[in-house]
Chain A
Amino acid sequence: MTINSIYILNKAGTLIYQNDFGNTEKLSHNSYIRLGSTFHSLHAIASNLSPVSGSSSGIEVIETEAFKLQCFQTHTGIKFYVIADPNHQQLEELLHGVYELYTDYVLKNPFYEIEMQIRCDLFDYKLLRLLGVRE
Chain B
Amino acid sequence: MIYNIYIFNKDGTCIYNEDWNKKKQSQNQSEDQKLLFGMLYSLKAFITSSSPKKIDDKTGFHCYKTSTYKLHYYETLSCIKFIIMSDPNVPDLRDDLKKIYSQIFVEYVIKNPIYKPGTTVKCDTFINQLNLYLKQMPSFSS
Contacts and interface: CB of A to CB of B under 8 A. Distances in A.
B60 interface: yes
Interface of B: 3-4, 19, 22-24, 32, 35-36, 39, 42-43, 45-47, 49-56, 59-69, 71, 85, 87
Interface of A: 4-5, 22, 24-25, 27, 31, 35, 38-39, 41-42, 45-54, 56-67, 69, 83
Most buried by A among B3, B23, B24, B47: B47
Given A46-B39, A52-B69, A69-B50, 9 more contacts: A48-B35, A50-B69, A51-B23, A51-B85, A61-B65, A62-B47, A64-B60, A65-B62, A83-B51
Given A52-B24, A64-B55, A42 B43 contact: yes
Contacts, number: 105
A66 to B, nearest CB: 4
A47 B65 CA distance: 10
B39 A64 contact: no
A57 B70 CA distance: 11
Given A52-B69, A53-B24, A64-B55, A46 B64 contact: yes
